[in-house]
A and B are shown apart, each in its own frame.
Chain A
Amino acid sequence: MNFVVSSSALLNRLQLVSKVVNSKNTLPILDNFLLKLEDGVLKITASDLETTLTTDITPDVVDGEGMIAIDAKKILEILKEFPEQPLTFQVDMDSFQVEIKSEKGLFSLVGQNGEDFPQATQLKADQVNRIDLLPEILFSGITSTLFATADDELRPVMNGILVEISPDNMTFVASDAHKLVRYIRKDANAESEASFILPKKPAGILKNIVTKADNELTLEFDDKNAVFSFPGFYLVCRLVEGNYPSYNSVIPTENPNRLTVDRVELYNTLKRVSIFSNQASNLVKLGITGNQLSISAQDIDYSIAAHESLNCQYDGDEMTIGFKSLFLLEILSNIGTEEVNVEMSDPTRAGIVLPKDNENEDEDILMLLMPMMINN
């Protein structure tokens, strides 16, 4: 098989796909990209057995068909060094010898038999759930929730994003047991109710590639795998198995204490004050009286303390509540509105952070943070 392709176009595609390749693989063939030439289209695949991503590119000149596995690191390194130019790939399908002809030179390497590359899993046709959605929904859903996922070997379900589809809406949920994010989109509807848990790695990759999609993308899944596809990209990933904890039951409904505050001002204040918090616990205290929100932190070991107040609108009882500043900062930086509403019940129960006056009416974002136990 032979083909001629633009060096920068090929590099661009390979870089997107390369995020799937693990730095260390138990199966040596997974260090490779699979190149498959068929019907005048070159398909490029990378896999770590859990996630398999395929993209395609149309070469300028095509001769023959076939497939070959090429060392991913080598091909990426060499492509990065070429200025934009057409490259001619000549592959000997018997010896797997690959020759790359550039304007001025010849680079030759030996590939491996493409037949040895593991095949992506097929979904079970009788169990498939399907939904078509706008790329922006998937992008926002993942971006808003990914930061809240856990790193917990003992509870693998918490390391992924729960995705629920229903005739009314689509919901993304992530939590590490300290913070929780629920992102609902009313403009995505499925025929029936179903859910799956998307692992972190494919979620991160999807976040990058969905920006390349122009039109709707298709999501299909059964109980073991999910497929995300749109023109030019095809991603199959194994899902996290297990039951996600019932997240709705931990969202407090009675929250009589309501605070409205400027998001950026709160963020900046927290950033300053938290420098003086204890570096192990990162505890900051939020004290609210009248329309004053005071933020304080201290580190007894170094005899340092900080305090700052800002104006807010508050409706509720005077209270002091402690949060881990890192978590609160993460939450505030993942909300886009000018102001946020914070709803609380008491110092040992979760505080809920909501965007105020969200322009996107189809969007419903709820972020929740458990406090730290402070003894006043």
Chain B
Amino acid sequence: MQRSIVHMDLDSFFVSVERLQNRRLKNFPVIVGGGSDRGVVSACSYEARKFGVHSAMPIKLAKQLCPDAAYIRGDMDAYTRYSRLVTDIIAEDAPVYEKASIDEHYLDITGMDKFFGNLKWTKELRQKVIRESGLPISFGLSVNKTVSKMATNESKPNGEMQVDEKHVQSFIHPLSIQKMPMIGKKTFQVLRSMGVADIGTLSRIPPEMLMNLMGKSGLQLWNKANGIDLSPVRQYSERKSIGSEHTFDVDSMDISGMRDLLAGMVEKLAYKIRKDGWVTSVVTVKIRYANFDTHSMQRKIAYTTFDHELIRVSHDLFDTLYSRRMRIRLIGVKFSGLVRGVQQLSLFEDSSRMAELYLAMDNIRKLYGKKAIRRALSFH
């Protein structure tokens, strides 16, 4: 059966949120990211894009290209709040939706054409989002996720596009292979060196050849190039991991300071999983040296939510990881293997007192904010 899939994507989401909060940023190049010279651009307005700025570009380079733009550190809490607002608006009307990222949603509206008119319904939903959240949003409507997403990207900013089944091939084939989801820098270079420039050429390559080149994902790529994508819209996606990273303003050798910082990060994450009712069983620590060599290491542990256990494990991992006398650029920690549950207390480790301590601290955080109480060693 032919499906109808909508992809909705908020236009330069972070910038739009900043503009909602500060009207003077309208029609002005805005760059969100970092907070220091060493971070990367996480979002930029269309005005800034004219100067050649794009996301994931080092802030330093962006400042050379567009020195007069407004540089904003970014407020993830506000973004999350607005993103949830948009999700709520969509959830109210859509029969099945999938939140693919902070600013993207897929909707499956198969079978609604007869009653509402797919395009009309989606247009109305888009207007509703714009009206109720104040954020610009674009959508693509087509037969599967890949084509819908490409349609959205072509229609942006502030656009709408429908690609029906018989026009799928004529729509995607002239596009550059760069426009195809799944093709990153590496794959692009490989394909370009083979003389493949547009998706039409890619679709005519024998799938066996692509499989030789890239293994299993080669076949997926070929399918997508031919407008085939059977992946369903999944309403519920389980959270798999939670983590946090920190890039230093200046590459650092302050190991004891880093251990304290790591403890502070773990403490924050541990509070979050306790609050949301998860327990974790895998801890991963990551460090990036000044020369961008990145190392990470993980350890499986018994299910826990206790700061002190998680801090001990992360310190252990950090001490093993840090083996070269080189300055460190970034450290990060991640909890995965998350399952719903609460901590089983243990007899021989005085866990009752620790549990009471964490319960009391969590209650303070719930009342006065998550920074209201912290371990002394994480103050820096």
A254 at the interface (CB under 8 A from B): no
Asked if B347 and A373 make an inter-chain contact with CB atoms under 8 angstroms apart, the answer reads no
- Interface stretch among B154-162, B211-219, B355-363? B355-363
In the assembled complex, the CB of B360 is this many whole angstroms from the nearest CB of chain A, namely: 11
Q: How large is the interface on A (under 10, 10 to 19, 20 to 34, 35 or more residues)?
A: 20 to 34
Q: Residue on A with the closest CB to B366?
A: A375
Contact with B along A89-108 (1 / 0, CB 8 A): 00000000000000000000
Asked if A280 and B339 make an inter-chain contact with CB atoms under 8 angstroms apart, the answer reads yes
Asked if B341 and A180 make an inter-chain contact with CB atoms under 8 angstroms apart, the answer reads no
Q: What chain B residues lie within 8 Å of A368 (beta carbons)?
A: 347
Contact with B along A176-189 (1 / 0, CB 8 A): 01101000000000
In the assembled complex, the CB of A286 is this many whole angstroms from the nearest CB of chain B, namely: 14
CB interface residues, B 330-362, toward A, < 8 Å = 339-349, 351-353, 355-356, 358-359, 362
B348, B349, B355: the one contacting A348 at CB < 8 Å is B355
> If A348-B355, A373-B305 touch, does A250 touch B348 (CB 8 Å cutoff)?
yes
Asked if A177 and B343 make an inter-chain contact with CB atoms under 8 angstroms apart, the answer reads no
A207 at the interface (CB under 8 A from B): no
A245, A283, A299, A370: the one contacting B345 at CB < 8 Å is A370
Report which residue of B303, B344, B346 has the largest number of chain A beta carbons within 10 angstroms of its beta carbon.
B344
Q: What chain B residues lie within 8 Å of A175 (beta carbons)?
A: 347
> If A281-B279, A300-B277, A349-B352 touch, does A373 touch B340 (CB 8 Å cutoff)?
no
A370 to B347, CA, bound (A): 7
Q: What chain A residues lie within 8 Å of B341 (beta carbons)?
A: 278, 280-281, 283, 372
In the assembled complex, the CB of B290 is this many whole angstroms from the nearest CB of chain A, namely: 37
> If A278-B341, A281-B279 touch, does A177 touch B274 (CB 8 Å cutoff)?
no
Asked if B343 and A373 make an inter-chain contact with CB atoms under 8 angstroms apart, the answer reads yes
Asked if B351 and A370 make an inter-chain contact with CB atoms under 8 angstroms apart, the answer reads yes
Asked if B359 and A373 make an inter-chain contact with CB atoms under 8 angstroms apart, the answer reads yes
Contact with A along B68-83 (1 / 0, CB 8 A): 0000000000000000
A202 at the interface (CB under 8 A from B): no
Q: What chain B residues lie within 8 Å of A180 (beta carbons)?
A: 347
Q: Residue on B with the closest CB to A282?
A: B341
Contact with B along A274-293 (1 / 0, CB 8 A): 00001011010000000000
Q: What chain B residues lie within 8 Å of A349 (beta carbons)?
A: 352
Contact with A along B23-62 (1 / 0, CB 8 A): 0000000000000000000000000000000000000000
In the assembled complex, the CB of A224 is this many whole angstroms from the nearest CB of chain B, namely: 25
Asked if A178 and B355 make an inter-chain contact with CB atoms under 8 angstroms apart, the answer reads no
Report which residue of B348, B351, B358 has the largest number of chain A beta carbons within 10 angstroms of its beta carbon.
B348
> If A348-B355, A375-B362 touch, does A177 touch B342 (CB 8 Å cutoff)?
no
Report which residue of B277, B339, B342, B358 has the largest number of chain A beta carbons within 10 angstroms of its beta carbon.
B342
A177, A322, A372: the one contacting B348 at CB < 8 Å is A177
Asked if A375 and B340 make an inter-chain contact with CB atoms under 8 angstroms apart, the answer reads no
A371 at the interface (CB under 8 A from B): yes
A279 to B51, CA, bound (A): 54
A238 at the interface (CB under 8 A from B): no
Report which residue of B277, B352, B353, B362 has the largest number of chain A beta carbons within 10 angstroms of its beta carbon.
B352
Q: Residue on A with the closest CB to B281?
A: A280
Asked if B342 and A281 make an inter-chain contact with CB atoms under 8 angstroms apart, the answer reads yes
Contact with A along B301-338 (1 / 0, CB 8 A): 00101000000000000000000000000000000000
In the assembled complex, the CB of A44 is this many whole angstroms from the nearest CB of chain B, namely: 42
In the assembled complex, the CB of B297 is this many whole angstroms from the nearest CB of chain A, namely: 19
Q: Residue on A with the closest CB to B306?
A: A373
A244 to B356, CA, bound (A): 27
Asked if A373 and B355 make an inter-chain contact with CB atoms under 8 angstroms apart, the answer reads yes
In the assembled complex, the CB of B359 is this many whole angstroms from the nearest CB of chain A, namely: 6
Q: What chain A residues lie within 8 Å of B339 (beta carbons)?
A: 280-281
CB interface residues, B 255-276, toward A, < 8 Å = 274
Q: What chain B residues lie within 8 Å of A280 (beta carbons)?
A: 279, 303, 339-341
A263 at the interface (CB under 8 A from B): no
Q: What chain B residues lie within 8 Å of A359 (beta carbons)?
A: none
In the assembled complex, the CB of B343 is this many whole angstroms from the nearest CB of chain A, namely: 4
A357 to B355, CA, bound (A): 34
Q: Residue on B with the closest CB to A373?
A: B343
Asked if A299 and B340 make an inter-chain contact with CB atoms under 8 angstroms apart, the answer reads yes
Asked if A370 and B340 make an inter-chain contact with CB atoms under 8 angstroms apart, the answer reads no
B238, B344, B356: the one contacting A370 at CB < 8 Å is B344
In the assembled complex, the CB of B239 is this many whole angstroms from the nearest CB of chain A, namely: 11
Asked if A177 and B340 make an inter-chain contact with CB atoms under 8 angstroms apart, the answer reads no
A350 to B348, CA, bound (A): 11
Contact with B along A364-376 (1 / 0, CB 8 A): 0000101111110
CB interface residues, A 277-322, toward B, < 8 Å = 278, 280-281, 283, 299-301, 322
CB interface residues, B 191-235, toward A, < 8 Å = none
A341 to B339, CA, bound (A): 33
A373 to B345, CA, bound (A): 7
Q: Residue on A with the closest CB to B348?
A: A245
B-binding residues in A (CB < 8 A): 175, 177-178, 180, 245, 250, 278, 280-281, 283, 299-301, 322, 324, 348-350, 368, 370-375
19 residue pairs A–B, Cβ–Cβ below 8 Å: A177-B347, A178-B345, A178-B346, A180-B347, A250-B347, A281-B279, A281-B339, A283-B342, A299-B340, A300-B277, A324-B344, A348-B351, A370-B344, A370-B346, A370-B347, A371-B345, A373-B345, A373-B355, A373-B358
7 smallest A-B Cβ distances: which pairs? Answer: A281-B341, A280-B339, A373-B343, A370-B345, A348-B355, A348-B352, A177-B346
- A370-B346, A372-B344, A375-B342 known; 12 other A-B pairs, CB under 8 Å? A177-B347, A177-B348, A178-B346, A283-B341, A299-B340, A322-B342, A348-B351, A348-B356, A368-B347, A372-B345, A373-B305, A375-B362
